[in-house]
Structure 1
Amino acid sequence: MKIITYMLRSFFPIFLGALIFFVLVLCLTDLFMNLWNYISKGVSSKDVGMIILYYVPKTVWYAIPIAMLFATAYMLSDFYARNELLAIFASGISLFRFTVPLLFIAVAMSFAMFFFEDYVVVPTYTKKVHMQELVLQKEKSMNNDRIVIMSDEGKIVYKADFYDDSVKRLYTVYCLIRDDEKNLRALIYSDNASWIDGKWKLSNPVEYKNSDEGIVMASVEEELLDLFDEPPETFRNNTISVEEVNTRQAREYIEHLEKAGLPSAEEKSVYYKKFSFPFVVFIVVFLAVGLSGKTRKNVLLVSLALSITAVVLFYVTQMITMLMAKFQAIPPLFGAWFPVMLFIIISTMLLKYAKT
């Protein structure tokens, strides 16, 4: 128990120091990337300070895995350099057994990170993005153009040239209606359609029908006009970043994309990443245990270099798999979880050949 207490008392100061350092680096990086825009738009220092403050939880979420990796690698390497690990091994305690408390802490922190992102990071990061867009005059319009929406499980397809959200109106509208077997039932055209009393009111609608004389225009049955009840929110330019919403909202957004017949591979991969990324904390601790004891000299620099290299390799691997998932080369679930599984295997191999 004294050994565990001694290890944890050595670990947490290093972890907190590394966490603060990496948070500062990320905050300053974001500040300098946008500094010229802030100056050119005359943004007040108070607003800039609030943007940075809202960004802090996101930087903490990013910095925790790096800080955990550095703190574990540095602490164990320092123990090895001072021959403290050799004394522990001589007493019959293996490296894995000695570091089990750290692995338990990493598992607990992984679950905590998931809830931290859902309830703290997402709301504050969303405020940061919205406030940044506001002060930099990059507000997003909800109007949309070249719209194709599938509704009622694909039985109704809307096509419109433009949607004006301020008046909730569609322009140059085609409505294709299909039966249960997805066979064409009717094709209706209207110059515009307005959202009135929970329905789309088509202006001077006409239906195209086949006849012996070819395609002719006819009046539309009232029964068909009652089918157009897809809410205006579906037609908005409501493309959102799954990274800026919690898991429930992300799931609802993906369901909306699937219902509308729109691509959702990228959104699904980011959604699954919300579950896989917190386990990076466990991976980096596992990895740091395997990397420990590689050198007795320049422990600080070597630990920092190993930590940054390992994190860069992980993020590059994750970036590649996420891009492959985006372009549907691999399933979204595989794109989010493959880097995690790969580095668990690498960490296991390193632990197997670690000095004990």
Structure 2
Amino acid sequence: MHALKKLIIKEWLRFFLASFIVFLILVSVGTLINGFLRENITAVEVIMSYFLELPSALNRVIPISCLIASLFSINKLKNRNELTAIFAAGFSRKNFLINIFQVSIFVALFQFLIGAYVEPFVKSRRHILIENSDAKFRNLKSKGIKASTIGSGLIWYKSKDYYFSFIKFDSKTNTIINTSIYYYSNDYHLARKVFADEVIYTEDGRWMGKNVTIISKIDEPTFPFMKTFPEYEIKLNETLDDFSQIEADITTLNHAELYQYIQNIKSSGLNVNEYLVVFYEKISSAVICIVFSLLACVPIFNPNRRNSSFGKNILFVFVFTIAYWLINSYSIELGVNSKLDPISSTFSVPIIFMLFLATYFYKNRKLT
């Protein structure tokens, strides 16, 4: 039985690696050719941009590679009559599915690590690898490059003569939530602190703070002076577009940091659906690897060689891949725009396939 298990896993891994490499080459060629045709960037910048986009591309490729691995490995075993021989030797279909499930778990973990940790890390280095990357590559343009989010869940930003932190910028109401501003003097000593529950951008182009506390004369030998205001105009150099870019920097947070950030802004009563979609999508993309691996194992319940067709498999993979990418992308977009709750938008596709598998396996339970 150990030899049969080894054969099944070996064939699965062989087709997984082959399809993974083929898809990776196709994505790489398309990205590089598109970059080299541009005149305003250098060859080095094209290559750097390729590596910045690579983790995101892998997240799309790996689930489809899992589907192909199961589908084509089973097809090969059927064409060589090995699948029938495996079951005739007493190796049950249940054990076959368990083997595929076990190997797909490792692939799912790999997928999760790429999406949850590698991709954010790479994005956080984009401005180091490519100078003025937001102006040269549209896919990098909306990402903040001046702010950093630390373990407290606050977004920190350095301006010309002050630092400030905040929990979230609400683009719908043009409001900065829980703002702390630290002004420093010419000799870089802390001179003044300003705290506000909200800072709202008004129609006449001013930043108005609500429930503002100002602590001044910090750098002087006298005792600091504190005063509070129900409403106070705060002078900021930044525009609405600047805050949109700063706030977008959360895409550089790994999974654990993103969770902490979500909990922080959730405690303030803010809508966190957009960030929950990003958080759950990392898990969903890993789960779908396992689901696709098992989904393509349906043919083992009818191991008749005459029913297998390489051409049909190719057509199925092509149609299925396009449909999956379109439906999944649309579902996630609905979640980001709060038109669908985060769990439904990220897990609807895996759940639909899981229900299909559960129903199919239950109907064929006597064959397992």
In the superposition, the TM-score normalised over structure 2's length comes to: 0.68
Select which of 298, 302, 308 maps to 2:312.
302
Residue 283 of structure 1 contacts residue 340 of structure 1 at CA under 8 Å; is this kept in 2? yes
Q: Does 1:348 align with 2:345?
A: no
Measured against aligned partners, the alpha-carbon deviations of 1:252-311 in whole angstroms (never above 9, x if no partner) come to: 443565467664322221211112211111011110101455874774433333233333
Aligned-pair identity (%): 15
**Residue 16 of structure 2: aligned partner:** 15
Select which of 313, 328, 334 maps to 1:324.
334
Q: Indicate the SS of the match to 1:122.
A: helix
Distance 1:130 1:137, change over 3 A: farther
Letter in structure 2 aligned against 1:16: L
Residue 81 of structure 2 contacts residue 305 of structure 2 at CA under 8 Å; is this kept in 1? no
Q: Indicate the SS of the match to 1:151.
A: strand
How far is the alpha carbon of 1:93 from its aligned partner?
2.9
**Residue 96 of structure 1: aligned partner:** 94
Q: Indicate the SS of the match to 2:135.
A: coil
Distance 1:268 1:283, change over 3 A: same
**Residue 290 of structure 1: aligned partner:** 298
Letter in structure 1 aligned against 2:122: T
Select which of 137, 150, 167 maps to 2:177.
150
**Residue 85 of structure 2: aligned partner:** 87
Distance 1:56 1:331, change over 3 A: closer
Letter in structure 2 aligned against 1:112: F
Residue 78 of structure 1 contacts residue 299 of structure 1 at CA under 8 Å; is this kept in 2? no
Which entry has the higher C-alpha Rg, 1 or 2? 1
In the superposition, the TM-score normalised over structure 1's length comes to: 0.70
Residue 61 of structure 1 contacts residue 121 of structure 1 at CA under 8 Å; is this kept in 2? no
Greater alpha carbon shift after TM alignment, 281-290 vs 309-318? 309-318
- Give the distance between the partners of 1:242 and 1:22, measured in 2 at CA: 29
- Give the distance between the partners of 2:256 and 2:218, measured in 1 at CA: 29
Letter in structure 2 aligned against 1:173: W
Greater alpha carbon shift after TM alignment, 136-145 vs 244-253? 136-145
**Residue 159 of structure 1: aligned partner:** 200
Q: Indicate the SS of the match to 2:247.
A: coil
**Residue 28 of structure 1: aligned partner:** 29
How far is the alpha carbon of 1:194 from its aligned partner?
12
**Residue 2 of structure 1: aligned partner:** 3
Select which of 223, 228, 233 maps to 1:224.
228
- Give the distance between the partners of 1:196 and 1:258, measured in 2 at CA: 34
Select which of 312, 318, 323 maps to 1:313.
323
Residue 176 of structure 2 contacts residue 198 of structure 2 at CA under 8 Å; is this kept in 1? yes
How far is the alpha carbon of 1:222 from its aligned partner?
5.1
- Give the distance between the partners of 2:352 and 2:5, measured in 1 at CA: 29
**Residue 288 of structure 2: aligned partner:** 280
- Give the distance between the partners of 2:216 and 2:310, measured in 1 at CA: 65
Residue 149 of structure 1 contacts residue 260 of structure 1 at CA under 8 Å; is this kept in 2? no
Taking the TM superposition and a 5 Å limit, the aligned residue runs for 1:96-175 are 96-128=94-126, 131=129, 134-135=132-133, 137-138=135-136, 147-151=174-178, 156-161=197-202, 172-175=206-209
Residue 67 of structure 2 contacts residue 292 of structure 2 at CA under 8 Å; is this kept in 1? yes
Measured against aligned partners, the alpha-carbon deviations of 1:14-70 in whole angstroms (never above 9, x if no partner) come to: 22111111111122233344444xx230x2222222322343343333322111211
Aligned length: 307
**Residue 58 of structure 1: aligned partner:** 56
- Give the distance between the partners of 2:130 and 2:363, measured in 1 at CA: 48
Taking the TM superposition and a 5 Å limit, the aligned residue runs for 1:241-260 are 243-255=251-263, 258=266
- Give the distance between the partners of 2:20 and 2:104, measured in 1 at CA: 15
- Give the distance between the partners of 2:197 and 2:326, measured in 1 at CA: 42
**Residue 207 of structure 1: aligned partner:** none
Residue 71 of structure 2 contacts residue 297 of structure 2 at CA under 8 Å; is this kept in 1? yes
Q: Indicate the SS of the match to 1:174.
A: strand
- Give the distance between the partners of 1:174 and 1:156, measured in 2 at CA: 11
How far is the alpha carbon of 1:148 from its aligned partner?
1.7
Letter in structure 1 aligned against 2:227: E
Residue 242 of structure 1 contacts residue 271 of structure 1 at CA under 8 Å; is this kept in 2? no
Q: Indicate the SS of the match to 2:64.
A: helix
How far is the alpha carbon of 1:133 from its aligned partner?
7.4
* Runs of at least 5 residues in structure 1 that lack an aligned partner in the other structure: 163-170, 178-186, 199-220
- Give the distance between the partners of 2:218 and 2:361, measured in 1 at CA: 66
Q: Indicate the SS of the match to 1:341.
A: helix
**Residue 208 of structure 1: aligned partner:** none
- Give the distance between the partners of 1:239 and 1:274, measured in 2 at CA: 20
Letter in structure 2 aligned against 1:157: E
